[in-house]
Amino acid sequence: MNAPATPAPGQKSSALRRLVRPVAALTAVAVPTAYVALVDPNTPGHYPVCPVLQATGWWCPGCGGLRAVHALTRGDLTTAGHDNLLVLVLAIVLGVLWVRWAWAALTGGTAPGARIGLRQTVLLTVVLGLFMVVRNLPVGAGLAPPAV
């Protein structure tokens, strides 16, 4: 009878080596996220005021982002979406992309690529600009984070 095939020592280490980048990226995001989870941005005095909000009185596309991340760490999708809908969407998209990347690294597949060219940059700029304008109009008041 043949003995069950065992992976060669090099195969195991190469799978671990391929996971270094996805795990490093996850760590780079998890550490500041853990801080925001522990230090509530809803309590004044822990984080600086947004310079755009302070200078213009307008909610910028990032306003409410820390509160959205804090809500996400508690599993509160409704509050996260109300604090900053773009952060919620970005977290979901980045989560899916990271899982695809980690799976490709684990299985030895091709990592998904993301190319950001001029067209994508212009589209992103337009989306951010529209989001900023709409959330500052009465019609988009639901997109503005609550005042702290």
- pTM for this prediction: 0.82
**Hey, CA dihedral for 140, 142, 147, 148, is it positive or negative?**
negative
Decide if pLDDT at 35 tops 90.
yes
Decide if pLDDT at 148 tops 70.
no
pLDDT tens per residue, range 56-76: 999 999 999 999 999 999 999
- State the pLDDT confidence band at 127, using cuts at 50, 70 and 90: very high
**Which pLDDT score, from 0 to 100, does residue 8 have?**
52
pLDDT tens per residue, range 62-111: 999 999 999 999 999 999 999 999 999 999 999 999 999 999 998 888 87
What is the spatial distance between Cα 62 and Cα 69, in angstroms, rounded to a whole number?
A: 11
CB 106 within 8 A of CB 19: yes
